[in-house]
Amino acid sequence: MCGIVGYTGNRKVIPVLLEGLRRLEYRGYDSAGLVYQYQDALVKFRAAGKLVHLEQTVDEHIGEEAYTGLGHTRWATHGAPTQDNAHPHSDCTGELVVVHNGIIENYGKLKQGLVADGHRFSSETDTEVLAHLIEKYLKDDLVTAVRKALARVEGSYALGVMWLKDPGRLVAARNQSPLVMGVDTDACYLASDIPALLPYTKKVIFLDDHELAVLEKGVYTIMGVESGQEISKEIKTIHWNAAMAEKAGYKHFMLKEIYEQPQAILNTVSGRIIPDTGKIDLPEIGLSDEDINKIERIALVACGTSWHAALVAKYWIEKWAGIPVDVDIASEFRYRRLLLHNRVLTVSISQSGETADTLAGIRLAASLGSRVVTICNVVGSTMTREADGVIYTHAGPEIGVASTKAFTSQLSALFLFTLYLGQVRQTIEQDMLKELGTALIDVAALIDTTLPVMQEQIREMIEEYYDAKDFLFIGRGLNFPIALEGALKLKEISYIHAEGYAAGELKHGPIALIDKDMPVMALVPQDSVYQKTISNVEEIRARQGRLLLIGTLGDEHLIKLTDDVLYLPRVHEELNPLLYTIPAQLLSYEIANRRGCDVDQPRNLAKSVTVE
Ligand code: M6R
């Protein structure tokens, strides 16, 4: 949460900072600010609300001959999203500025001491203590002062610091919040996430916890925060390009990302299913066949949409690989007694690879002796660096806060993982392996051809539903997690209260909610639990619920139950979750769009949740 950018080089800095902030705005959009060094002063602009307000404020300065600066887009934790609380924050002299992502947990105590020493605060943020703390230790060396300040800080931070008396230099440091440097021959960049760097450089260095970097024009030094010892770091090359993080003519990133799903699935599968044999190849998984044969249990850990992917995977892994699976929400996992050991494999699922709770979960699992594999979309993210093995989803950058293509790519990766386990443990026959692998590839093609028709039909259907106050989603078996996912999507971008239920669970309470005003989207493919789900649909119908059915093409029965039926092509039953997710995503998108909601930047949310 919160996005940091920094630049020092030969380009004019304001456009670089604004472009970086635009590309990081998905991380937080309560307020934004920037600072740059101009002649013999630091010039600071801050604005409450979205980035556009900052852009308007800075507009007439855009071409200023300034070449070093920092920017920030905020997701408020401490203090309301006002201009005064927007970053950058300054020390008492105004000559030192800080941008920060994370939470300084002991800020109250530190602030008390600083106030007693005579420091004057002008915001309610935890971040401002960093500026004053560094000021307290600052004599003539900024790096030393930052290191001394950080020695007293508890909590998480990715930060950028600038000092007027040290022109052309930025100091950055990281602990538990992501920070990546971009390097070039004549410049250095700083960012919370890769999209901010894509227009300028593909060469990046991921900072690790307790590391501090000094950035100058094309030169940098990295050292340990505590030790001050220089550290040599690998420069990585990023294979995404700048256009991948643009809207490409779509009204919203979310819609573009919904349409990118067939390609994202194929990219995730590519090279991992050997066409002739159906053999699965996952070389980066970091586990030998012997390791896999020894697994007694798998613990899947994730948050939000990624947790829904884990719930689907439990059905798959238990059925096809015969391994018991626990699924946990990471914020619960990390605070309960975990019965983990070296024969339990922990698998984290995360688009960003930076989600604080999931990261803490895998650290805990590793400390208990469990091997850790991560399924992740962002190359080089913290989870991928800490796990023993990685299965990358190749969805490309996901910018919309509502996760779409990351989810179906996660499902694809988890399906491959299931097949791989079955292959190694010989619980899946060779023919079946091939059939299932082919079915996964086929579903991508079917989504591709049916997506525009689905969108058209759903756009018409939602005229009846877009002003609903509540919404239910139901499904059974593999489609139960998809009902949860549909409800989450609708809540987060349209602000309609929505719940997902296992269809068979309705009669244990939620059916009391059903009346003529309650819309229910029911996922009823002709699968092995079809008749059971239809019975649940009948129970809703008997109570006059407004049914919206998603079912299999050719199922004439559905149209007798309601006027609102969306037919999808028949796919292999195991792959229904990938296909049935699409109408749920489109329903949420069309409703949110119809209601005039801010689809890509829904209120109170941020894309990457790097605080607890
Ligand atoms: O980056 P992660 O996959 O770890 O993120 C987990 C959740 O924060 C994320 O899926 C969130 O629930 C989405 N906004 C849902 O659309």
Q: Report whether residue 410 contacts ligand 1, using a CB cutoff of 6 Å.
A: no
Residue 212 belongs to a domain: yes
Mutational test site, ligand 1, from 392, 609, 610, 612, max ligand atoms within 8 Å of CB: 609
Q: Report whether residue 306 contacts ligand 1, using a CB cutoff of 6 Å.
A: yes
Which residue's CA is the nearest one to ligand 1's atom 12?
Answer: 304
Span 18-41, pLDDT tens digits = 999 999 988 888 899 999 999 999
Span 387-408, pLDDT tens digits = 999 999 989 889 999 999 999 9
pLDDT at residue number 566: 97
Do 160 and 264 fall into the same domain? no
Residues 6+ apart with CB under 8 A from 118: none
Span 47-76, pLDDT tens digits = 999 999 999 999 999 999 999 999 999 988
**Has 2 been annotated as catalytic?**
yes
From the CA of 401, give the closest atom in ligand 1.
14
DSSP state of 369: T
- Domain range spanning residue 288? 253-448
End-of-domain residue from the set 210, 245, 280: 245
How many residues in the chain? 612
Q: Report whether residue 588 contacts ligand 1, using a CB cutoff of 6 Å.
A: no
**Ligand 1 centroid distance, CA of 425 (Å):** 32
Span 445-455, pLDDT tens digits = 999 999 999 99
pLDDT at residue number 207: 96
pLDDT at residue number 376: 96
Confidence band (pLDDT; 50, 70, 90) for 524?
Answer: very high
At residue 48, φ and ψ (nearest 5 deg) are: -75, 155
Cα-based torsion angle of the residue sequence 442, 445, 449, 452 in order, rounded to the nearest 10 degrees:
110
End-of-domain residue from the set 227, 245, 263: 245
- CATH number, domain of 153, equals 3.60.20.10
Confidence band (pLDDT; 50, 70, 90) for 239?
Answer: confident
Residue 501: strand pairing partners: 474
Do 214 and 159 fall into the same domain? yes
Given a contact cutoff of 8 angstroms between Cβ atoms, the answer to whether 602 and 26 are in contact is no
Which residue's CA is the nearest one to ligand 1's atom 4?
Answer: 350
Do 69 and 187 fall into the same domain? yes
Given a contact cutoff of 8 angstroms between Cβ atoms, the answer to whether 476 and 532 are in contact is yes
**Ligand 1 centroid distance, CA of 118 (Å):** 42
Do 400 and 421 fall into the same domain? yes
Do 516 and 437 fall into the same domain? no
Do 320 and 232 fall into the same domain? no
List the alpha helices (DSSP H) in 158-272: 253-259, 261-269
Give the pLDDT mean for 396-423: 96
Span 134-165, pLDDT tens digits = 999 999 999 999 999 999 999 989 999 999 99
The kind and range of the H/E element at 453 are helix 430-461
Do 546 and 585 fall into the same domain? yes
**Has 92 been annotated as catalytic?**
no
pLDDT at residue number 121: 96
Query: Distance between CA 576 and CA 569 in Å, rounded?
Result: 10
Mutational test site, ligand 1, from 194, 306, 329, max ligand atoms within 8 Å of CB: 306
From the CA of 305, give the closest atom in ligand 1.
10
Residue 336 belongs to a domain: yes
**Ligand 1 centroid distance, CA of 307 (Å):** 8
Span 268-296, pLDDT tens digits = 998 899 878 899 999 899 999 999 999 99
Q: Are strands 470-475 and 497-502 parallel, antiparallel or unpaired?
A: parallel
The kind and range of the H/E element at 173 are strand 170-175
DSSP state of 175: E
Our CA angle for 451, 457, 462, nearest 5°, is 120
**Ligand 1 centroid distance, CA of 607 (Å):** 7
Residues 6+ apart with CB under 8 A from 276: none
Residue 480 belongs to a domain: yes
- CATH number, domain of 551, equals 3.40.50.10490
Catalytic residue among 44, 314, 434, 607: 607
Q: Report whether residue 374 contacts ligand 1, using a CB cutoff of 6 Å.
A: no
Residue 1 pLDDT > 80? no
Do 156 and 14 fall into the same domain? yes
The kind and range of the H/E element at 228 are none
pLDDT at residue number 77: 83
Residue 608 belongs to a domain: no
Our CA angle for 529, 299, 305, nearest 5°, is 65
Residue 583 pLDDT > 80? yes
Give the pLDDT mean for 323-344: 96
Per the structure, how many domains does the chain have?
A: 3
The kind and range of the H/E element at 248 are none
From the CA of 304, give the closest atom in ligand 1.
12
Query: Distance between CA 222 and CA 543 in Å, rounded?
Result: 66
Do 365 and 272 fall into the same domain? yes
Residue 604 belongs to a domain: no
- Largest pairwise CA distance in the chain: 80
Q: Report whether residue 350 contacts ligand 1, using a CB cutoff of 6 Å.
A: yes
The kind and range of the H/E element at 32 are strand 31-38
Do 259 and 240 fall into the same domain? no
Our CA angle for 557, 562, 563, nearest 5°, is 110
**Ligand 1 centroid distance, CA of 308 (Å):** 10
From the CA of 410, give the closest atom in ligand 1.
3
From the CA of 302, give the closest atom in ligand 1.
4
End-to-end CA distance of the chain: 11
What pTM was computed for the model? 0.85
At residue 610, φ and ψ (nearest 5 deg) are: -100, 15
| Mean per-residue pLDDT of the chain | 95
Given a contact cutoff of 8 angstroms between Cβ atoms, the answer to whether 325 and 297 are in contact is yes
Catalytic residue among 2, 303, 376, 597: 2
pLDDT at residue number 160: 98
**Ligand 1 centroid distance, CA of 303 (Å):** 6
High-pLDDT (> 70) share of the chain, %: 100
pLDDT at residue number 240: 84
**Ligand 1 centroid distance, CA of 311 (Å):** 14
pLDDT at residue number 496: 97
End-of-domain residue from the set 181, 216, 245: 245
pLDDT at residue number 276: 84
Residue 514 pLDDT > 90? yes
Residue 152 belongs to a domain: yes
From the CA of 303, give the closest atom in ligand 1.
6
Do 46 and 110 fall into the same domain? yes
Query: Distance between CA 181 and CA 475 in Å, rounded?
Result: 44
Given a contact cutoff of 8 angstroms between Cβ atoms, the answer to whether 373 and 387 are in contact is yes
Q: Report whether residue 361 contacts ligand 1, using a CB cutoff of 6 Å.
A: no
Residues 6+ apart with CB under 8 A from 92: 119, 120, 132, 135
pLDDT at residue number 486: 98
Span 586-605, pLDDT tens digits = 999 999 999 999 999 899 88
Do 181 and 268 fall into the same domain? no
Residue 609 belongs to a domain: no
Confidence band (pLDDT; 50, 70, 90) for 213?
Answer: very high
**Ligand 1 centroid distance, CA of 114 (Å):** 37
What the block records as the tokens of 505 is 């669970």
Residue 612 belongs to a domain: no
What the block records as the tokens of 293 is 């044969």
Residue 463 pLDDT > 80? yes
Q: Report whether residue 377 contacts ligand 1, using a CB cutoff of 6 Å.
A: no
Given a contact cutoff of 8 angstroms between Cβ atoms, the answer to whether 143 and 221 are in contact is no
Distances (CA, A) of 114 to 117, 129, 136, 366, 458: 5, 8, 8, 38, 58
Residues 6+ apart with CB under 8 A from 421: 292, 295, 317, 320, 321, 323, 427
